[in-house]
Amino acid sequence: MDNTNEVKKNFGQRACEYRLSSTHGNPEDLDRMIRLIDPNFDDDVLDVATGGGHTAIALAKFVKKVVAIDITPEMLAEAKIASIQNGINNITFRTENVHNLNISDCQFDIVASRFAVHHFSDVRSALQEMCRVLKHGGKLYILDCSVVDGDESEKEINRIELLRDSSHQYSYSPRLWNQLLQDLPLTIVHASPLQSQYKLPVWFDRMETNQSNREEIFKVLNNLSSECKINYPFGNDYITTYRYELLATKN
């Protein structure tokens, strides 16, 4: 189901919060991304679903230019503010939908996307588009919310994510990522699940999750099987989460 309007509504209302988000702007995550990608100063970069601009700004310091795209105008405005605050002047901001990019084939040396794929309504089309605009030999980098392999975690953790954010589509497990990637013209260089935590109530507050949904989320967590709870410890002030990090080159 196309969730474009829901994404625009949810993130348009909260664009400033995402520019200031310590999760999206985590310097350790951004430094690790730079080390993995190892960009060159003559690279052209596409940042897909730039949000608050954290990825674009981090890469812009090491490359020739960055095109940062998003479907939410308010997010692009906040990303521009962040780029000015960081003294960055080699980023172009454009409104684009990843499912149908208005970009010619093989334009970019690097295509990157962080914390966005779980919002894509047609993930296969989106990934195909990201590969299409990537040069042969170019690098694709993705960091996104993920879940542990297994029917229960794949169902129930996505249920939690949707209760928290109505624009959520799906967080893919490593098993499902392997399925998504197998038909793409890519060679996998790095693929790894990463365990982290969401701090509460910050995670809820950023999306203004209502109280009944917050309570329902804890009901889901309490009803997880004992095996699943081992992978998803939680408390009043945190919830365990996983991320999937990918670096691949285009064949």
Q: Which of 64, 121, 72 is nearest to 88 (CA)?
A: 64
C-alpha to C-alpha distances, 34 to 37, 130, 179, 228, nearest whole angstrom: 5, 19, 26, 33
Owner of token pair 């990463």: 194
The gap from C-alpha 96 to its chain's centroid, in whole angstroms, comes to: 16
In this prediction the pTM is: 0.93
Name the pLDDT band for 4 (thresholds 50, 70, 90): confident
- Structure tokens, 39: 């960009």
Which pLDDT score, from 0 to 100, does residue 12 have? 52
Q: Quote the pLDDT of residue 229.
A: 97
Closest to 77 measured CA to CA, from 54, 41, 52 = 52
pLDDT digits (tens, 9 = 90+) for 25-58: 678 999 999 999 999 999 999 999 998 899 999 9
> What count of other Cβ atoms lies within 10 Å of the Cβ of residue 155?
11
pLDDT in tens, 67-114: 999 998 888 998 999 999 999 999 999 999 999 999 999 999 999 999
Interior angle at CA 93, CA 71 and CA 144, nearest 5: 55
